Structure 1
Amino acid sequence: MFANKKHFITAIIGVLAALSIIALVLSLVKVEDVTLPPTIKYGMVFDAGSSHTSLFVYEWDSDKENDTGVVSQTLSCHVQGQGISSYASDPPKAGDSLRECLDEALKAIPAAKQRDVPAYLGATAGMRLLREQNSSATAQVLAEVAKTMREYPVAFKGARILTGEEEGTYGWITTNYLLDSFTKFSPKAHSWIHPEAPNIFGALDLGGASTQISFRPEGSVRNWKEASKFTLYGYNYNIYTHSYLCYGQDQVLKRLAKELIAESSSSSWVDHPCYPRDYNETISLSSFRTSPCTNRSDPRLPLGDRSVTLEGRGNASQCLAAIKKLFNFSACGQSQDCTFDGIYQPLVSGQFIAFSAFYYNFRFLNLTEGQSLATVRETIEHFCTRSWGDLSSSYPEEKPERLPKYCAKANYILTLLLDAYKFDETSWNNIFFQMKVGSADVGWTLGYMLNLTNMIPAEAPVRVKGHVPSLWAAAIAFIILTLALGLAALLLLLWV
């Protein structure tokens, strides 16, 4: 192959020299691990309320901020039909009602990540009431919901009924998270930081069957039963929270109708001061037995399953007086740290976000722009005096089953906030009625998902090694270089 011995030795020396150079370069290269960016995680939560169900999909970086995910809302989907508690007599329909939104959610989550997505369903006051009335039907409804969710390629974590206090606490967490009270992004630091002087907001939630108040009082919470403690972003929080079952807007209207009928001397036609003039509604006495809030027997009610017609009178002052009778304010005596029914509550302090039905009712009345309490009262009083013909022609797009009830709902909100929670002319200005912050909905589900990220381990950064460690590279290079030089020297001696 080689013409002579000289050429052969020259070739060997050339190969050895090349290997030496490669080894030398290898030893000089600084080898580091390559860290890949954190991956995106997803989670989904069904809010199974008393009157409707909604699904929310959230996402966050796997590299969490102080053990709590920085969560954002990716999707919201409203389930068609009523709340899952309405399917007590036909539980499979409760599960089937979720399918459309589940299909929608899977379109928003990459297929490769779907099986790792934690999925939850939290039921609130509607199911709490059903559990009091029919525990077996409640279990069947939850079982059918779970059965449906297990059919989808997600990590189903359970369907359960939240306590009222959990609902209030998670609503408070959502509120302050969205308002950057816990953490906010600093463009200067290029990272999430804890505000030096965070403005912590209280949360006011009004649903169909219950209402919640949650806030951080100025002093300590005297009654430990009403306290909620937790840690977010490395900081501890201690808040007051209480939930009032049967004080959601739908149950209050039902209780109001029952009380008006019980007080009336007529057995078939009853005046309703909150309904507009010329509006009539016929209800059956048996409907009161469908809810634990109204199923207690009352000797003042007419006997049998008779129908009664409620005739609107459009009287704002009488409406307000009738609603106040639904509260037991005398149980508090002269105590200032008490709302009604003898329930302890510290004095309200700080700013509050009022969402859900608080917001929707006041938005209809155009009262969500920070109007004074005097303006709010005047607007509600004027609305209550309008006739049914006037209202139906002025609001043709509003659902006819909702329109006649805004007077009662608005007066109930005033009674709850002023007489029960003890807001006044001054502190009223600290209540902000809103349903969204940015593109995210205010409610308990985001707080629930955010809190659960403390139980989902943060992923360690993925580290990819591009070469062998530099210490081994240097050792190999030294051995190759030594052998090459030694062999070259030997060949030279033989040649000579």
Structure 2
Amino acid sequence: MAPPTVNDPWLAGRHFGIVIDAGSSGSRLQIYSWKDPRTIKVEKGSELAYTLPKVEKGTKDEEQWVKKVEPGLSSLVDNPGDAGAYLRPLVKHALDHVPPSLHKDTPLFLLATAGMRLLSPQKQAEILHETCRFFLTHTNFKIDAPSEAGPCGSSVRIITGEEEGLFGWIAVNYLMDGFTGSLDQPTTYGFLDMGGASTQIAFEPSPEHRKQAKNLIDVRLRLLGGEEIRHKVFVTTWLGYGTNQARERYVGRAIAEFESTRHEDDDDPDEDVVSDPCLPKDLELVETPVHTQSATSHMQLSHKLLGTGSFEQCLRKTAPLLNKNTPCPDTPCLMNGIHVPPIDFSASHFIGVSEYWYSSEHIFGLGGAYDFVQYERAASEFCSRDWGDIIKEHDESRQKHHLGGDGEVEKGGKIVETGRWGPRVELPRLHMQCFKAAWIANVLHEGLGMPRIVDPGGNATTDGDKVEEEAKKKGLGRPTFQSMDTVGDIAISWTLGKMVLEASKEVPALKKSAKPLVDPIDDIEDLAHSPIQPIRPPFWSIIGLEDRLTPHLPSSLTRTSLGFSPVLLMLWVFFTMFAFLVCYPNRRRLRSVCLRSVRSVSSRRDPFDDLLEEGRLGGGSRPASPTVFGAKVPSALRHIFPSSSSSSASDSRSKPSNSTLSLITNGTALRNLVPGPSSARGSPTRLAPMINGNGNSNGSAMMSESHDYDPPPTASSTQYMHANTISRSSSPAPGMMHATDDGLGGARSVLTPRPAAISRSSSFARNF
């Protein structure tokens, strides 16, 4: 589909933003758009002045705003050079849907997450460098300049789990109007995200706990009226607390407990069956332990797990995985000894996405406002079912609902039923549903300390817009926790939060001195001591080199102590010395090259320099120009930067006399030697002393004869040169003449006259 044209009303005053979420399983490009805040008329004090820019899908066809490729960007670990071919479909999609006239003003971001974090720093740098190079050479989108974050600045980088949480927190509060600050909503919403490898929490502590809270991060946004809003947000990540990683830890623990009761002489493989209450009844899976502390050889073998289907026992078995008893160096702590400020659940309300939504909605149909009683009832029923019955129902659902998926039944592109197992509810999800349901419940209640709300009515609402309405009907007001996937037609995603921040940056500030808006991680003042550290692979740059060398330097030699970079200073000194050592032995050659370069630019040539370069100048070098150094120039550099005083002595020895070149003997000028107009111009060749047949010079005879010669006035000529003006001739061996007090002195070099010149000179002598 072609991008909208310039005359399209939808395009008027619209800006675009592109984010590529480079995850572990694939990379998803999302195009967002918003109206230019500078074109929106906002009246002071109006409701519009206290809202953020409205960020929407970036295409008129709502199905075209997303494009995904598989597998993940991290799959290029062995072939970083293939990044261009990998990203080409995504870039082409963006080029096809963003108007070309807006490309240079459209920011493009590739922000990598889980998969790229697992690679070595060197591999990370190689892939990101190739990605940056591809964007710069194949697109005209807006890309950040090189910085310490990478060759494309913050446009191409790996984000931390905490950054994901902060962007997700912005997205949730943007969609749920959490930034309005009205009396009905005194605080913002908290954000919970659970993936396969980790889980994140981001929330704004209550005012009474905010003062004592540590490691809070400033999140700054700008409303359409120009007012800046600031929130102090706490965010942290628990690695290994995602559903998949938690399952691996659980399997290792279950097999270890089984092996501790197993007899050493029992080698019957049929006896290696581990009962698993977190699997549906009679489901058999063969798994190999991954997370074991002191694994024996037999413990490392694959074991068969047999499901017993008890949700209550599964809750008890998974609770120790929270590591609530881990030492807490900075109280209070929640899980694994990680500090978290106190959470006031009577005022704080949380929204869970990703696995919180999938595990609640896709199988149980309980997405939305969370009720533990209803949730526990549905989970217990599912876990206790026979696996054969579950498979049968799954197959029937796949055949019946061809258009359905993820627990939803679609007709004509609209969801008409929920709570069904569509064709995209695959068997692996059914395998792990019992475990995931128990793990989520334990994280919420045992890990985070969320109270169990009793609501006999339950909830089966899946539309995010109806969640609060349904909750109020049940007397819950704003529910303490609700799982959501979309609000209206906008998916809850950390990429949306990133774009809300970018759109907010375009709002003109009320004061010109206002601090520019940046990503939250760039607002951390003492980043070196912050628990949140950006992921910065070792790119080959001076800044990256400084970052690697600084930890090995004494504190007194750091940039902070000196006020400048000692690494950059050392590099400057090194390159200066290196350049001097290379250039000094080749100074004459370099000077000649420089002279030629200057002439090629100015298109001017000096005859004196021609003779100097060709080695034909026997009378010394050009007089040196005075320098500011005078006689203070060191002797080693004096011939490179000659001073007027140091060169005066050499000038007297090597320079030819500046007196007028004339062949004067007893007052008669030899410039009158050649009579008539035919003597157009004399040359050193014609003025050379004649060599007779005996090898003697007959120049003196010529001079004596010419002394008595008084040519007629018509034969006079004034076309001989001065000493510094040399006539160019085709003589095979030209030389320089110099004048003396007695007349014409000998040539500096032997001049070989041309035969024609000799004959003319002989004829001229006979005429005397």
Specify if TM > 0.5. yes
What's 1:170 paired with? 167
What's 1:8 paired with? none
Contact 2:284 2:304 in 1 (8 A): yes
1:72 aligns with 2:60: no
Q: Which has the larger radius of gyration?
A: 2
Cα distance in structure 2, aligned partners of 1:153 and 1:229: 30
C-alpha deviation, 1:82, in angstroms = 4.1
1:411 aligns with 2:438: yes
Deviations 1:295-320 (A, max 9, x none): xx621353697433333332222322
Contact 2:311 2:383 in 1 (8 A): yes
1:264 aligns with 2:251: no
What's 1:215 paired with? 203
3-state SS of the aligned residue for 1:224? coil
What's 2:304 paired with? 309
For 1:212, give the aligned amino acid: Q
Cα distance in structure 2, aligned partners of 1:271 and 1:90: 43
1:276 aligns with 2:280: yes
What's 2:360 paired with? 362
The verdict on how the C-alpha distance between 1:208 and 1:440 changes in structure 2, with shifts beyond 3 A counting, is same
For 1:373, give the aligned amino acid: F
Cα distance in structure 2, aligned partners of 1:385 and 1:95: 50
1:449 aligns with 2:423: no
Question: Normalized per residue, which structure has more strand?
Answer: 1
The verdict on how the C-alpha distance between 1:93 and 1:392 changes in structure 2, with shifts beyond 3 A counting, is farther
Root-mean-square deviation over aligned CA pairs: 3.3
Cα distance in structure 2, aligned partners of 1:305 and 1:93: 37
What's 1:18 paired with? none
Cα distance in structure 1, aligned partners of 2:30 and 2:358: 19
> Where in structure 2 are the equivalents of 1:60-459 lying within 5 Å?
60-64=34-38, 69-74=53-58, 76-77=65-66, 79-91=68-80, 96-128=85-117, 130-131=118-119, 134-150=120-136, 151-157=138-144, 158-182=155-179, 198=185, 200-218=188-206, 219-221=208-210, 222-233=212-223, 234-265=228-259, 269-284=273-288, 288=290, 294=291, 298-302=293-297, 306-331=301-326, 337-345=332-340, 346-349=342-345, 350-364=348-362, 365-370=364-369, 372-396=371-395, 397=423, 398-426=425-453, 429-455=479-505
Cα distance in structure 1, aligned partners of 2:199 and 2:447: 12
Contact 2:287 2:303 in 1 (8 A): yes
Cα distance in structure 2, aligned partners of 1:76 and 1:256: 39
For 1:206, give the aligned amino acid: M
For 1:121, give the aligned amino acid: L
Cα distance in structure 2, aligned partners of 1:400 and 1:196: 46
Deviations 1:36-91 (A, max 9, x none): x9722111112223444322211122225789643223264252434333543454
The verdict on how the C-alpha distance between 1:456 and 1:95 changes in structure 2, with shifts beyond 3 A counting, is farther
C-alpha deviation, 1:120, in angstroms = 0.7
Q: Which runs of 5+ in 1 are unaligned?
A: 1-36, 184-193, 289-293, 460-496
Deviates more, 1:230-239 or 1:99-108: 99-108
Cα distance in structure 2, aligned partners of 1:419 and 1:78: 39
Cα distance in structure 2, aligned partners of 1:181 and 1:312: 43
C-alpha deviation, 1:458, in angstroms = 5.5
Contact 2:216 2:232 in 1 (8 A): no
Cα distance in structure 2, aligned partners of 1:320 and 1:110: 53
Contact 1:62 1:458 in 2 (8 A): no
Cα distance in structure 2, aligned partners of 1:339 and 1:437: 30
Deviations 1:218-270 (A, max 9, x none): 23333422544434421111122222122122222222222222332268543
C-alpha deviation, 1:434, in angstroms = 0.9
Cα distance in structure 1, aligned partners of 2:352 and 2:436: 14
C-alpha deviation, 1:175, in angstroms = 0.6
Cα distance in structure 1, aligned partners of 2:432 and 2:498: 32
Q: Which runs of 5+ in 2 are unaligned?
A: 1-10, 39-48, 59-63, 145-154, 263-268, 396-422, 455-475, 510-768
Contact 1:264 1:270 in 2 (8 A): yes
What's 1:189 paired with? none
Cα distance in structure 2, aligned partners of 1:451 and 1:344: 27
Contact 2:221 2:505 in 1 (8 A): no
Cα distance in structure 1, aligned partners of 2:367 and 2:158: 31
The verdict on how the C-alpha distance between 1:438 and 1:169 changes in structure 2, with shifts beyond 3 A counting, is same
C-alpha deviation, 1:444, in angstroms = 1.1
Cα distance in structure 1, aligned partners of 2:238 and 2:254: 22
C-alpha deviation, 1:208, in angstroms = 2.0
C-alpha deviation, 1:141, in angstroms = 3.4
For 2:378, give the aligned amino acid: T
Contact 1:45 1:55 in 2 (8 A): yes
Deviations 1:135-155 (A, max 9, x none): 333333333443444433422
What's 1:40 paired with? 14
The verdict on how the C-alpha distance between 1:263 and 1:337 changes in structure 2, with shifts beyond 3 A counting, is same
The verdict on how the C-alpha distance between 1:220 and 1:312 changes in structure 2, with shifts beyond 3 A counting, is same
The verdict on how the C-alpha distance between 1:155 and 1:320 changes in structure 2, with shifts beyond 3 A counting, is same
Cα distance in structure 2, aligned partners of 1:282 and 1:67: 54
1:59 aligns with 2:59: no
C-alpha deviation, 1:457, in angstroms = 7.3
C-alpha deviation, 1:195, in angstroms = 5.4
Cα distance in structure 2, aligned partners of 1:313 and 1:413: 20
Contact 2:370 2:481 in 1 (8 A): no
3-state SS of the aligned residue for 1:401? helix
The verdict on how the C-alpha distance between 1:373 and 1:306 changes in structure 2, with shifts beyond 3 A counting, is closer
Cα distance in structure 2, aligned partners of 1:55 and 1:79: 6
The verdict on how the C-alpha distance between 1:226 and 1:282 changes in structure 2, with shifts beyond 3 A counting, is farther
3-state SS of the aligned residue for 2:445? helix
What's 1:467 paired with? none
The verdict on how the C-alpha distance between 1:372 and 1:195 changes in structure 2, with shifts beyond 3 A counting, is closer
Structure with the bigger RCO (C-alpha within 8 Å, sep 6+) is 1
3-state SS of the aligned residue for 1:261? helix
Cα distance in structure 2, aligned partners of 1:399 and 1:238: 41
TM-score (normalizing by structure 2): 0.48
C-alpha deviation, 1:160, in angstroms = 1.3
The verdict on how the C-alpha distance between 1:307 and 1:224 changes in structure 2, with shifts beyond 3 A counting, is same
The verdict on how the C-alpha distance between 1:259 and 1:94 changes in structure 2, with shifts beyond 3 A counting, is farther
3-state SS of the aligned residue for 1:208? coil
Cα distance in structure 2, aligned partners of 1:402 and 1:348: 33
Deviates more, 1:117-126 or 1:216-225: 216-225
Identity of aligned residues (%): 29
Contact 1:337 1:347 in 2 (8 A): no
The verdict on how the C-alpha distance between 1:224 and 1:254 changes in structure 2, with shifts beyond 3 A counting, is same
Deviations 1:77-117 (A, max 9, x none): 25243433354345456664444343333333112212331
